Structure 1
Amino acid sequence: MFRPYKTAPFFDEMLRQDGLPKPHYHKFHQILNQFSQDELKKKHETAQLSFLRQGITFTVYDANQNTERTMPFDFIPVIIPSKDWDEIERGMIQRTEALNLFLEDIYNEQYIIKDGLIPRELVEENPYYYGQQMKGMKIPLRNHIFLAGIDLVRNENGQYLVLEDNLRNPSGMSYVYQNRYVMRQVYPEFFSKHSLITLEHQLSSLHDAILSHKPLGLENGVSPRAVLLTPGIYNSAYYDHVFLAQQMGLELVEGRDLLVKHDKVYMKTIKGLERVHIIYRRIDDDYLDPVAFHKDSTLGVTNLLQAYRKGNVSILNGIGNGVADDKAMYAYVPDMIRYYLKEEPIIPNVETYRLREKKQRDWVLERLEQLVIKNVGASGGYDMLIGPHASKDEIESFRNKILEKPYQYIAQPMIKLSRAPSFQNERFYPCHVDLRVFVMRGEETNVLPGGLSRVALKEGSLVVNSSQGGGGKDTWILKSDRGDEQHAQ
């Protein structure tokens, strides 16, 4: 079934250059070969219907209309041996710790700026920096990052690289669980022969992390009440909000359900007002409080920042985290790790050129057709140039954009992203993949085992985002790969 499949010149997650499965995929490959083409087709259709029936959707916004879609699902998992996962886990804990120390620093003493490692204007002119609102704010656990979503890719040598940090409102954890649920329902044969690290109890760790952020003003002996604040049903990640609230037993609320009275936050209920101590918000900073931020916002809660400042409520993730996951700041994260932790990065960045610096900008402008250009404020694959795949007009358009606003863009080399087999349209073909790893930080730090593997299902595409035609795969972390290695030998 893999005869027309070619691995070269990319690193393939499942297959070696000679077409044989890698040791940790050996059992999976054996079971896969027992299915007929018709059985695979029926299972694939059943999996897609399962997502539809459960209402697992996201919204795509375009110029003409907003379209609700189910997440395309591919049944061939990304399998990661335990040794590789251990390195990823250590790397993610290290990176989020350094990023949190950076956020605590720039909203207080700003040592990293004073020591000349990061230009002051890069922080203070950043649209996501809220120095006026957050300067000197004391927050629970001194922890700004309760939940991080770190995007990883692998290059042609199989080396993991960090592509992007998501420290504001990372989405997608619900899809991790639904991918696993559908796999177990539709393809139970695969699980009987594999020993995997399960996802059970991980949402308990997320819930514990939320409750550990007790407001500094909470009276002794009082159990904190937490809620999940959503913008509402029209938000593209609303399913994510509903799933997490249900699984953790949190009230799902909108801004109109909350009010601030005497600098404390209350939830409106049929029994009257009930005190709220922790808000896991899925609303952007600008819309949280019409008094402190965007005055036209109808999504937030009036005077919420005042209650936050008084230590009567905690807000997760922290306000102003966007300055640390900005694509322009991304280039400095390895320096942050060295500065705050006195360590070398375990998982390196993709090499990045800072276009605000003239020497690097001039070098990039001569090689636009070879590079990837990204808008530091955009996401979801928008306002991005993939030089080797772009037309002359597109390249010239980006040249003008860079010359007009060089601080708005970064450049990176074209990486030969790793691929994995996907089954679509009744056949197997290679698709590029990445991995979003979720890091949960409270009194302890936990990394969700596996995370969300995203796949560029359009043949030849490099864009894995669901809004651009991408889909999802289940991600398996083997408890131990010895058995598979011995079997393969």
Structure 2
Amino acid sequence: MGNGSRQSPLAVDRIKPRVLQKVDVSARQIVYTVVAFANRLDFERRSSFMTASHNFESYQTENFYDELFYPNGQPRPGGRLLVEKINSLPPGELNQRQEAIERALLRMGITFAVYGDQAGTEKIFPFDIVPRIIEPFEWSHIEAGLKQRIMALNMFINDIYHDQEIVKEEIVPRALLEKATSYREVCRGLNPPKGIWCHITGTDLVRHSDGAIYVLEDNLRCPSGVSYVLQNRLVMKRSFPHVFAASQIRPVTDYPSKLYETLAHLAPDHIGEPTIVVLTPGIYNSAYYEHSFLAQQMGVELVEGRDLVVKDGFVYMRTTDGFQRVDVIYRRIDDDFLDPQAFRKDSMLGVPGLLDVYRKGRVAMANAPGTGIADDKVIYAFVPDMIRYYLNEEPILPNVPTYVCEKQDDRKYVLEHLGELVVKAANEAGGYGMLVGPHSTLEQQKEFAQKIKENPRNYIAQPTLALSRVPTMVDDHFEGRHVDLRPYVLYGKSVWVLPGGLTRVALRKGSLVVNSSQGGGSKDTWVVARSAREAKDEAKEI
């Protein structure tokens, strides 16, 4: 039976009263005493800066590109009202708003899991109250570049699983394709519904000290993080309602409806109301909160593999009323675990026979199986060439310059400059399998040199970029912290880009690693509207 997607994954507020009703008076007194003591310690910890007046008078942009301020200390146009508001707040007010946001996020149960963490699996995703602000002209450039990129990537995936013309033309080396662990031979000849392979994409962008926006990597398998975007916006609107209204910030709240439209577009045309499900690996997955949240927001069922069955050539969902046919699956399970008959035979998370039903066009999936070939970090280096080959256009958004260790000259350079470069494994994520040269030890560099020599196909290297920064609260003052940006692209009837996206911030001073699993947090991302008309939906919601 499908998991009730409308049930909160962390129903703490309902559980606590029932537990307290079962304990005696003395036990309850102990509980309250412990809580009071913990609160007192927390109060004492914060008392030194709770009355501080946060303002930007002493804030230093240093030698980095700052997203909120010009080098001369003046706020950029889209951030002037915010800066004025923060500077005008009474002592302690900004801390109170930050803490109110943290309490709200805790009540919402906005968590992620860190695999292998000994202190516990669930963590609250840290949030900072100072947003990243993107000017309208800049967003237009980013949006156009993302649309161009997803069109080329979709054409590449289709080509790779059919005629492989780009390989025959020697634009993408055959050896790189044959050694790619994310390439799925079983997907050769697949024809996804409406010809679309990548329906939901998260593209990571960074800004260097030269002010230019670069694509850092593409995430085309099961990109996560959009739930944080929506919840961050909700709590920020409550914290700065008047600034929102006056600044004309573009809305993000229509993402669930846009996602639903994208998924519904994949269903056969004769089906008026398709049955759509979100397929999750289960509660122990790091992004389970997001799976549950999106299912709830779209009004569809959240299911696990055991809730689905292939029967008479179709996919059905087990319900209390019997079997219900499924038309579209938004899968948040990697290819390896999707179907034990087609991929990993030991998978207990997928649906046996699912790929065969998909191949026959009797169920749609987003994203299509096999899309992981396009977010291989080695294949990433060739995306600009894909854009030129398939679209006959120059890339709007450039790649970060990349050394492919499979190439002898590139490998030689990388091995000689490990202390200056960022080295990444082809299919790792979350900040794992990575060497940040300037912050590494000689022992770590030797270890990566050996890995590169043993398996050069698995590694790329890039120069260490001076990532842009955004002011971030640190006790009683602001400090610059490095950020990246993950916009979300939906490809259905047309291509739509969520205005803004997830701004991830490296909370550790000097760190360039923004991943939540490595101590990163998030910020709200404000895209300033081109006109009052473009922002009117947001103003209505406040």
Corresponding residue number in structure 2 for 1:438: 488
Which of 155, 179, 190 aligns to 1:125? It is 179
Q: How far has the Cα of 1:438 moved from its partner?
A: 0.2
Superposed CA offset, 1:71-125 (max 9, x none):
1111111111111000100000000100000000000011000111011121122
Superposed CA offset, 1:31-83 (max 9, x none):
11111331111111111111101100001112646431111111111111111
The letter for the 1-side match of 2:314 is K
CA root-mean-square deviation: 1.4
* Structure 1 stretches of 4+ moved >6 Å: none
Question: Are 1:210 and 2:263 an aligned pair?
Answer: yes
Corresponding residue number in structure 1 for 2:305: 255
Kept in 2: contact 1:150–1:162 (CA 8 A):
yes
- SS of equivalent residue, structure 2 residue 204: strand
**Residues 128 and 201 of structure 1: CA distance in aligned 2, closer, same or farther (over 3 Å):** same
Question: Are 1:134 and 2:187 an aligned pair?
Answer: yes
Kept in 2: contact 1:265–1:313 (CA 8 A):
yes
Corresponding residue number in structure 1 for 2:457: 407
Corresponding residue number in structure 1 for 2:137: 83
Kept in 2: contact 1:74–1:424 (CA 8 A):
no
Q: How far has the Cα of 1:365 moved from its partner?
A: 1.2
The letter for the 2-side match of 1:67 is T
Aligned residue pair count = 478
Corresponding residue number in structure 2 for 1:292: 342
Kept in 2: contact 1:43–1:187 (CA 8 A):
no
Corresponding residue number in structure 1 for 2:216: 163
Q: How far has the Cα of 1:21 moved from its partner?
A: 1.1
Corresponding residue number in structure 2 for 1:231: 281
Stretches of structure 1 lacking an aligned partner (at least 5 in a row): 483-489
The letter for the 1-side match of 2:441 is S
- SS of equivalent residue, structure 1 residue 369: coil
The letter for the 1-side match of 2:218 is D
Give the distance between the partners of 1:284 and 1:377, measured in 2 at CA: 12
- SS of equivalent residue, structure 2 residue 414: helix
Which of 339, 344, 369 aligns to 2:394? It is 344
- SS of equivalent residue, structure 2 residue 419: helix
TM-score (norm. length: structure 2): 0.86
Q: How far has the Cα of 1:278 moved from its partner?
A: 0.7
TM-score (norm. length: structure 1): 0.95
Kept in 2: contact 1:292–1:305 (CA 8 A):
yes
- SS of equivalent residue, structure 1 residue 58: strand
Which of 149, 161, 166 aligns to 1:112? It is 166
Which of 89, 106, 112 aligns to 1:58? It is 112
Which piece of structure 1 moves more, 398-407 or 63-72?
A: 63-72
Corresponding residue number in structure 1 for 2:355: 305
Corresponding residue number in structure 1 for 2:528: 478
Give the distance between the partners of 1:424 and 1:269, measured in 2 at CA: 50
Which of 18, 42, 56 aligns to 1:2? It is 56
Q: How far has the Cα of 1:222 moved from its partner?
A: 5.1
Corresponding residue number in structure 2 for 1:186: 239
Question: Are 1:355 and 2:405 an aligned pair?
Answer: yes
**Residues 31 and 64 of structure 1: CA distance in aligned 2, closer, same or farther (over 3 Å):** closer
**Residues 427 and 67 of structure 1: CA distance in aligned 2, closer, same or farther (over 3 Å):** farther
Corresponding residue number in structure 1 for 2:148: 94
Kept in 1: contact 2:197–2:368 (CA 8 A):
yes
Give the distance between the partners of 1:468 and 1:19, measured in 2 at CA: 31
Which piece of structure 1 moves more, 359-368 or 330-339?
A: 359-368
Higher-Rg structure is: 2
Which piece of structure 1 moves more, 455-464 or 395-404?
A: 395-404
Question: Are 1:329 and 2:407 an aligned pair?
Answer: no
Question: Are 1:381 and 2:436 an aligned pair?
Answer: no
Give the distance between the partners of 2:319 and 2:528, measured in 1 at CA: 45
The letter for the 2-side match of 1:13 is E
**Residues 42 and 222 of structure 1: CA distance in aligned 2, closer, same or farther (over 3 Å):** closer
Give the distance between the partners of 2:129 and 2:271, measured in 1 at CA: 48
1:19-58 alignment, distance < 5 Å: 19-58=73-112
Corresponding residue number in structure 2 for 1:274: 324
Aligned-residue sequence identity (percent) comes to: 49
Which piece of structure 1 moves more, 348-357 or 372-381?
A: 372-381
